[in-house]
Structure 1
């Protein structure tokens, strides 16, 4: 009942701050002018709707918040922010964090272990990011790596349930999506296995994408948005599929 203020126009993003983000992340600067303008508009709305929290002594500056917002908005540039309406909080750590995990296997045995995390998206919960991995890097872009897009792709995926690599899709795309994604995931997983077990050439995308279809979708989204040219060469069928989803009517 107190959310009425969120519908008011958001404060404009200062020009110097916006230009700084475009310089830091060239894949954003390469967008056509109309799309950059749309990105700026949605980034301002995103900043108005979400709450940023610094952890372990990290102070959230305007530069940090906008860098994250602009990259998070990129996947929904043509879809709108409704795909992110199931959460508010974004927690940013200065560096990787160690999370304690407890898992029960099929035999009922409980396993406790630690996992090093760069980021995490929780279903109907906040997004966690590490600033050291969000900061601009030419190496990251060339490798098709982008932590923010990865975690926010998970949020899109989770919007209709668990992260299974199948976000909410228009009816006419569902069958094609499942066919192509399943085939591309199997082929990628085979390449990773051949590399890890038999020394074959390493695939271009992060091998973490071979974990399960949900991670493959998130890893593929990173590359699609930050290195479209290489992604097109490596995954032409996924390029066509993602274009139909992320740019409907384009």
Structure 2
């Protein structure tokens, strides 16, 4: 791990204040989920390692990245006890690179049986002694442009992971949902994901989590039972995208 410089005092205070605000909201909702206390994933894509280290020094441990190359680079220079979540679209040819990250904690974007098997093989080939947590990403809005498993295929993918992928641990279901849905209360995408989760739990004897909710709607997601929320701009602020990714 190379030395990472902290950002300016002003920037550190900004991240600390934002994290305290968001983290407090997540913790206050913990009383609604005794089985799975909610987890805050700080989405750090495009953010410098110095910002992540500032959040780390505030006690944050779960961070989410959308791009494999960026995740590999950051994992190599930041503390080894960070729990990394891959939250971008999973490509089969990137499974090996992901599996090489020692402290990869979860992949939240499994969207087919084939990719689950590919990731399982890569994880096993990397020689890890623990299972890799995975979420099945579900296309709850039935939009053609959205990634994720179609709702009627979720059970088949779940069974493939549980029965065939011994290196993977099915942790839960994830959705991004539609823009239209995010403006509704209750959010129909969150309700669909919760129902799918409940059905799977009953059929397969599981106790799955729900990864749903981002900066604009994470509090509502928590109200509807989210156990994993992905918050970026509310912690780190907006930042220009990186066109090279």
For normalisation by structure 2, the TM-score amounts to 0.26
Between 1 and 2, higher relative CO (CA 8 Å, sep ≥ 6) is seen in 2
* Rg larger for: 1
